[in-house]
Structure 1
Amino acid sequence: MSIKFLKREKMDRSIFLVEWDTGYIQIWEDWSQYLSPKRYNWLNFRPIWFEIDYDKLAGEHFSIELGLMGFNLRFHQFIKQNQRGRKLEKSAKELESIEEACRKEVKKLKSQIKALEKRLKEG
């Protein structure tokens, strides 16, 4: 089991994650959205927050969220896969491979355009 410590930028605020194969712990705050409120459709502030969530839609997942005075913590654990979850995972992998193929094709076309522009300037 590998554990990763990550920092992700979401809009203009940071989200910190501790991630492992079957789950994660996420830490974030609500205060920074008030520094630039025009960037958001709505503003969240959780003076006190507690939530337990159990989901079986795309596999069994369990999560607990805690929030106090704008500081939030989420613990999320994947329990087991189901048919819908496997289909979603397969679709996501297919989309990633299509996206990667498109990136490679764009890169190839850009290099061909540069080569043609160079030939036009020379000739």
Structure 2
Amino acid sequence: MPAAVAATRTRLERRQVPVLRPTHGRLRILRLIWDDELSAGEIAARFEATFGAVSPHLKVLRNTGLVTLRKDGTKRFHRADREAPGPLAEYLQSMWSARLDTLARLAEEAERSESTP
């Protein structure tokens, strides 16, 4: 992990925000709203969870400045603030791209094995 990324991660952890712990689901939420603005209900639906289960994680992400909130009437829309993580943003993007590449490769392998007698 590059030094700048490690320093940013340490800064986030010092704020007592374990954003990078995959078990909390915050990293997955951040990935969902990295490119798209979604309501909390839409985010919850993608996790097959309730609004109440997702809401505390969104609050933590907002409080750290990693997520912005836009209100439209009674709806609240969340989007990742790509500038907030600093050098960590590039690391996150590359990590997600690598996972997508792996998923695509596995899907292609599965498709080939299904079509082979």
TM-score range, shorter chain: 0.3 to 0.5
From the CA coordinates, give the structure whose radius of gyration is larger: 1
With the length of structure 1 as denominator, give the TM-score of the two structures.
0.39
More strand by share: 1
| Structure of higher RCO (CA pairs closer than 8 Å, 6+ residues apart) | 2
With the length of structure 2 as denominator, give the TM-score of the two structures.
0.41
